[in-house]
Chains A and B, each alone.
Chain A
Amino acid sequence: MYFAAEVLASSSTLKQKWEDEVRKSVAKVADQKPEHLWSTVSDLKIKRLYGPDDIKDMDFEQDISYPGQFPYLRGNQATGYRGKYWTFRMFSGMGDAKTTNERWHMLLKEGQTGLSTAFDFPTLMGYDTDSPKARGECGKCGVAIDTLEDFMQLVEGIPMDKVTTSMTINPPATALWAMYCAAAEIRGIPLTKIGGTIQNDMLKEFIAQKTLMCPPDPSVKLISDTVEFGTKFVPRWNTISISGYHIREAGATAVQELAFTLRDGMEYVEDVIRRKGLDVDEFAPRLSFFFNSHIDFFEEIAKLRAARRIWATAMRDRYQAKDQRSWWMRFHTQTAGCSLTAQQPYNNVVRTATEALAAVLGGTQSLHTNSLDEVLCLPSDHAVQIALRTQQIIAEETGAANTIDPLAGSYFVEALTNEMEEKAWEYIHKIDEMGGMVAAIEKGFPQLEISDAAYLYQRQVDANEKIMIGVNKYVTAEATPIPLIEIDDAVETAQVARLQAVKRKRDGKAVKKALDDIKSACKKGENVMPYCIEAVKSLASVQEICDVYREVYGEYRDPGLY
C-alpha cells in the first residue's frame, strides 16, 4: 500500500470537507461547462481533484520504483537527461536527394543531433518516379529516392559512423535499408559501426497510415528478416520503430494509440520467435517505439509513462525476457500534426512547445517538433529553425531536464497513468482473444475503433465541445499570410531523367540476376536482406525490388473501411 492508514483516514475527512465546500460554491456559481466536458482530448473524463485515495492501491516497489529499475515507469536510464538530452531529430525530406542533403547539413549545423528521413509517396509505396502511379507526387511530401545513386547523394558528407539516421519507410524498408548498408560499405564504414532506425512497422500501416504493398503475413515476414539480419550483422540498428504516431493521427484516442502500438510490438516479438527461432533477448533490445505527443498535456505524459511499464511487464512476464535491455521501451516522439491549425498558424508554435514539453516530461529519448507551417506545406527553413529551437529551449532554459520524471508521485498523474494502463490492457486482451493483431486487422477491429474515435472528435469540434482556437473559438476573419514552400513540378521531370540515365548505364544482366536472387529467396523463405544489398549495389531501383515482392506475395488493397 502506498499510504499509511492514518494518512488515508485524515485525507478522507479533509476530502469530505472539500467536497462540501465545492457543492456550496457550485450551487452559487455553476462551473463554466458541464461535468462531462471536463475531459481529455481523447474524451477521458477527468475529476476536479485527485488525492491519496486515487493511488492508494499502488505498491511503490512494484508500480513506481526508480529510473533504470523495473518497471521502468520512471525511465530506462539511471541518469535521466543529465548524461544526455533526448536526440533532437527533425523529420525532413523534400524534392530531390540534393535538396534534402542541404537541409540535413543545415539542421546539423543548427545543433540537431540525429537525422530523420521523410520520403515522398512513390518511394514510400515502392514505386519509381517514372511509374504512372507516381505522377504528380515526386518530392512533394519528402525526398524521391529511386536508386543507390540518389541515396549516395542523400548521405553526401554525412558522418554515417557518428550520426544516427532514422528512415520512415515501411513496405520498401528492406530496399532502403539495403541502400544505407551499401552506402556505408562503399564509404568504407563497417555495418557494425552504423546506427539508426527503419520504421518498418507494417501493422500500423494496415491499421492507420495505409502505405500498403503486400498482405499482412508476408509483410511481417519481411520485417522479421530485417530483425534477424540486424541482430546478426548491424547490431546498432533499430530494425523496427513500432509506431503509434500514425494511429493517433488517424484519429485514435491516447488509449487506443497505446494499446494498438504495444500489441503490434507483441505481434512482432511473437513472429520473430516463431519464424526465426531467435531467443527473445537476442533481438528485443533493438526494438524501438514511436509515439505521438498530442495537445492534452497530462494525458500524453501518463501515456508515455504507462507505455514503459506495460512493455517491461509484457517482456518480462509474457515473453520471459531475462535481459533488462529487453524490458526497456525506447521511443521517439513527434508532436501532433493533427493538433495544428491552418487558421492563425503562428499559434502552432505554442501547441508544439506544449506537446514537446509533455514528451520530455514523459521521458522521450528522441523528439521531432512540428513546424508551424506543416499543416499547409513542407516546412520552410525558418519554421524548422523555430521548431528545433523549441526543443533546445526546453532542454537548456526551462529546467525540465534537471530532474528525472518530475511528475511521479502526483496523485493525478499516477492515477491517470494507471487508468491508461488498465484500459490499454483491456484492448490488448481483446486482441489476444481475436487471435492476435493480424487477425484483428483482418476483422477491421482497430481500423473501425479509430474511425469511431475520429468521427466523434470531429462532431465534438463542430459542436464546440472540444475547442480548437482559431477554428471554433476566437476565429478571425482575415488570413495570416505565411511563406509557403512549394516543390516545383520540374523536380519530377529531372528525377525521371536521372533514373533513366542510371538505367541506361547500369549492367542489365547483373540487375536481373540480383532481382532473380531476391525472388528465389522469397520463394524459399530465406532472408532477403543480403540479396537486397547486392541488388541495390547493381543499381536495381526501389520499384524493381518491390515488384518482386508484389509478384511473389501478391498485392494488398485498402479495403476502404470507414
Chain B
Amino acid sequence: MSDKKIRVMVAKPGLDGHDRGARVLARCFRDAGFEVIYTGCHQTPEQIASAAIQEDVDVVGLSCLSGAHRYLFPAVAKLLKEQGADDITVVGGGIIPEQDFQLLYDAGLKAIFVPGATLASIVDWFNTNVQPRA
C-alpha cells in the first residue's frame, strides 16, 4: 500500500439534474480520505473525459438518473480509451435497470451501484479495486 490517495472524479453526464446521490458520494469520498473532484451537472461526455485526463484521476464515477446512461456511460468510457486513458477506472450509478448492466460492463465500466448500496460498500469497492496510480 502506498500513501497515495485515490483521486476520484464524480461526474454528472447529460442533462439530468438529479444530483443528490452524486453530492452525497462526493462528501463520502472526501470523508474516506480520497481526493475528490465534482463536476456539477450537465457535463458532456467530452468534457468529462478531458477533465478526467487533465486532473489525472484514478477513477471516474458517473451518475445518471434520467435513463440516458445507455448512451452517456459508454460514450465516456470510449472517449477515455480513444485518448489513451483506459487505465482510468470508470464506474457508474443511478437508476440503472439490471438488464442494462451487461451493456455497460461491455463498454468498459467496472462496477454499477444502484439505490440501496451503502456508502461503506462503495468506499470498500474503491479501496479494493482502484489503485492510486504512481
Contact = CB atoms under 8 A, between A and B. Distances in A.
B68 A140 contact: yes
Chain A interface size, as a band, is 35 or more
B110 interface: no
A58 B101 CA distance: 57
A464 to B, nearest CB: 10
Interface string A105-147: 0000000000000000110110100001111110011000000
B119 interface: yes
B81 interface: no
Contacts of B107: none
A135 B71 contact: yes
A377 interface: yes
Nearest to B26: A562
Interface in B75-129: 95, 97-98, 114-116, 118-120
Contacts of B41: 210, 212, 558, 560
Interface residues of B, number: 35
Interface in A192-245: 205, 209-212
Contacts of B22: 562
Interface in B50-79: 66-68, 70-72
A555 to B, nearest CB: 10
B contact patch SS? loop
B6 to A, nearest CB: 17
Contacts of B44: 132-133
Contacts, number: 112
A251 interface: yes
Contacts of A342: 114-116
A554 to B, nearest CB: 15
Contacts of B116: 341-343, 471
A386 interface: no
Nearest to B17: A210
A380 interface: no
B131 interface: no
B42 A455 contact: no
A393 interface: no
Nearest to B118: A462
Interface string A453-475: 01100110110000000010000
A251 B24 contact: yes
A164 to B, nearest CB: 26
Interface string A336-379: 00100111000000000000000000000000000000011100
Interface of B: 12, 14-20, 22-24, 26-28, 38-42, 44, 66-68, 70-72, 95, 97-98, 114-116, 118-120
Given A342-B114, A376-B95, 19 more contacts: A121-B16, A122-B15, A127-B15, A135-B72, A137-B16, A141-B67, A210-B41, A210-B42, A338-B20, A341-B115, A341-B116, A343-B115, A375-B115, A454-B20, A461-B118, A557-B40, A562-B22, A562-B23, A562-B26
